[in-house]
A and B are shown apart, each in its own frame.
Chain A
């Protein structure tokens, strides 16, 4: 057995294709890692700038009602491996008691030249997707067909070795050869990563990279086995080669690009959207009635929500909705710098009103989210997930999905941020309640001391730990492994039945 492996290994290592494979993979990975690191550093810088700017803008606001807390999503350093949704989806979101924030309310900062988006960006996983599959097939096409043609297969089989062992030896040695360029190039990429000062990888990140390597090996093995299958089934090198190349062209080049245009795109369910929006509108109409009812029945004459305050500053309020995003909210902002003397007696009434309004708004926003969340899920997420399943019919799609999950740049990974943003909103609201911010004078006026933003809880976004990544990646990795096993068994059966 070991002799067999050694023979095969030497055969493979001394070939031109091995040298070429190693060289090209190294070249591409290193060149692209440079580009990707620069890009990441630029995004990180723009993130830091945005954080600072949002801090500054917040500090400038003298009233709580005018202040807008914004939180920013930092770029994921592992997006260098698989960029996924990291660059595409919104990276800043407004935290307010009026709306429960979600992916659909996010904005974007830091894209300087939108024209440059015309050029596709490549991550390391994309390089592997294309290159490794090609090499695996080039290594495999003549594994049986070649030996069959040259007659060495007959020679080998005269020895008292089981056919299974020969197969295993071939597989092991070829895989060992194929893993070499993969590992060396990844190692170089990691070294490059660690030299960059902007990128700090923790131990979890290294485990995630380990997961990516594992998935890459499984992916490589699938394509090697496909090549082996073709080689064992066709028995002629030239046919095996041609078939392998077209299989590669189809699975790597054509299928992932064409499939989504071929399957009918699900129209988003308009009826569902309409009914959900209707219910949300109802919530806010009730809200508005209760608000007006309070103004009419409180012990202050008049129904003006601003309590006829005449001061220096601005005020504005409106109910607004967006049926596309199922968004609805009531926004009232009052930003006064000072008041006339007549206004003082009105103050306690106004303060009480804003206290009431704050609680009412939070309640309406929370109830809206209960309707909005499942509706968004059904309208946006489910069709997209269906399309992803179609993509996963190709090993390329599986590999892409699994590595995205490991890197945390998949949809779930990005949505984690918005989950954290929602939790942060809750803690901001708690802070507001604890400090009686809604009832405070600073809610609408800065004349007796400006709003104090320094006590606000800090937002920190920690990517989920490795367990979550593993949990999300495992189904796809398992599928890849299963394909491996099935292919291996089929090849074994064909090989055992082959007459030499």
Chain B
């Protein structure tokens, strides 16, 4: 088996395609590193500046518990992933901030409490520059590497048959599966060499720069991404072997492979996503505003109805507090609902595209690079957790103040003592590897499954090859 792998390897190393593949991969990976080193420091700087500003705002508010409770935790920012060079993950279309918005006044001259607000990205309407695709690992692996894999295997069996060397080889006392595995390994290693070289150059460039620090966690993630890349390449190699064994002429084999590649890699993901997206119509922004307006009006009616008759003072404060809190809560629920519908639409579209191996690979790389949609969902979950903690902190602090009458929602009912800014819960947007792993498990299984199916298909096809 190793003999055959070695023979294949030597064959490939001398070929034109090996040289071209090496040049292409090296060029792309170096570009990737250069662009990343140019952009990442700015991104981190921007994030740090924004977070500092947000914390400063919070400290100013902390001079009174009431103000703090009313104006909320401020803007919560998404931490940029240091592994953004692996997968850009459509981050430009995802907002990087969740805000706690509050209203200056709601019904009855009361001041509104903060609620979580999910801004959407505002598209840059004046961007007249041509579209730029980010050259990240996901692009290089997803498109370029898979194409190279096909070009390495399309003639693996059919080419030898045309030359007549297949007959010669099979005349040796060697089981056929050994031959196939040998060919597979040979091709995998010959692609693995330029890939590893390119990846190492890329990482060398990135890790020697002082602007970026990659921790042990990041290296672990990079390792996993590399394994995914190899698995994904193997998948296309197996496909190449399968078609090559089934078809008698290499030219036909290549045409079939290219058609499969173009359809599944280039077209299926976006076409299917658009079709799947058409099945659901989430609440539009106009509807959201309308719903909010209706709720607001109803709240006001209830308020007016309550104060239509005379109420005693203690009850009045209690009602007002509840009123303020309920207003914020129901508005937040609508926001959540709006967001959930949008997310469901995207999730469905993403699930549909998983027919295509490139979509699976890209989702996986995104998950481990800590970018993209799944990561955004994690960020949203983090902000919700923080919001709960924040509210709990307010309630706890308030109940610790003997002068307060513990009616949250209104100034008269709450503590107005200053709060120690250091005691405030801090928002930490964390990247969690085990969480990522869980999210990616499904994709990983799917990828392995596809790989196994294609490889056994190639085996079956090869066993039945007539020489």
Residues of A within 8 A of B (CB): 16-17, 20, 24, 27-28, 31-32, 34-35, 38-39, 85, 88-90, 103-104, 106-108, 111-122, 127, 130-131, 134, 138, 142, 237-239, 241-243, 245-246, 249-250, 253-254, 257-258, 260-262, 325, 380-381, 383-384, 387-388, 391, 411
Contacts and interface: CB of A to CB of B under 8 A. Distances in A.
B184 to A, nearest CB: 20
Contact of A134 (B125, B135, B262): B262
B132 A261 contact: yes
B123 A108 contact: yes
Nearest to A381: B128
A142 B252 CA distance: 12
Interface string B247-263: 00011101110110011
B467 interface: no
Contacts of A131: 262
Given A35-B274, A260-B130, A384-B130, A116 B24 contact: no
B349 A380 contact: no
Given A24-B262, A116-B349, A243 B128 contact: no
A134 B250 CA distance: 17
A208 to B, nearest CB: 22
A198 B397 CA distance: 60
A114 B125 CA distance: 13
Interface stretch (B97-105, B219-227, B275-283): B275-283
A260 B130 CA distance: 9
The 9 A-B pairs of least Cβ separation, nearest first, read A118-B90, A119-B273, A90-B125, A257-B133, A114-B120, A35-B274, A112-B284, A246-B20, A384-B129
B189 interface: no
A85 B345 contact: no
Contact of A250 (B24, B251, B254): B24
Contacts of B289: none
Contact of A24 (B128, B259, B282): B259
A117 B123 contact: yes
B313 to A, nearest CB: 34
B266 interface: yes
A282 to B, nearest CB: 24
A246 B17 contact: yes
Given A246-B20, A254-B24, A257-B133, A118 B251 contact: no
A381 B259 CA distance: 39
Contacts of A122: 267, 270-271, 274
SS of B interface (majority): helix
B16 A242 contact: yes
24 contacts: A17-B255, A24-B263, A28-B267, A28-B271, A34-B275, A39-B274, A113-B346, A114-B121, A115-B343, A115-B345, A115-B346, A116-B346, A119-B270, A119-B277, A119-B353, A120-B269, A121-B274, A127-B267, A130-B266, A134-B258, A241-B254, A257-B133, A383-B129, A384-B128
A106 B125 CA distance: 7
A254 B144 contact: yes
Contact of B278 (A35, A115, A262): A35
B373 interface: yes
Contacts of B94: 115, 118
A249 B25 CA distance: 12
A238 B16 CA distance: 10
Contacts of B147: 245, 249, 253
A8 B275 CA distance: 40
Interface residues of B, number: 62
A246 B27 CA distance: 14
B98 to A, nearest CB: 14
B126 interface: yes
Contacts of A250: 24
A384 B133 CA distance: 15
B15 to A, nearest CB: 8
Contacts of B275: 31, 34-35
Contacts of A246: 17, 20, 24, 151
B434 interface: no
B128 A85 contact: yes
Given A117-B93, A241-B254, A387 B123 contact: no
B390 to A, nearest CB: 26
A121 B277 CA distance: 12
B345 A253 contact: no
A122 B120 CA distance: 23
A90 B252 CA distance: 47
Contacts of A237: 251
Interface string B1-41: 00000000000000111001000100010010001000000
B71 interface: no
Contacts of B398: none
B327 interface: no
Contact of B130 (A20, A108, A391): A391
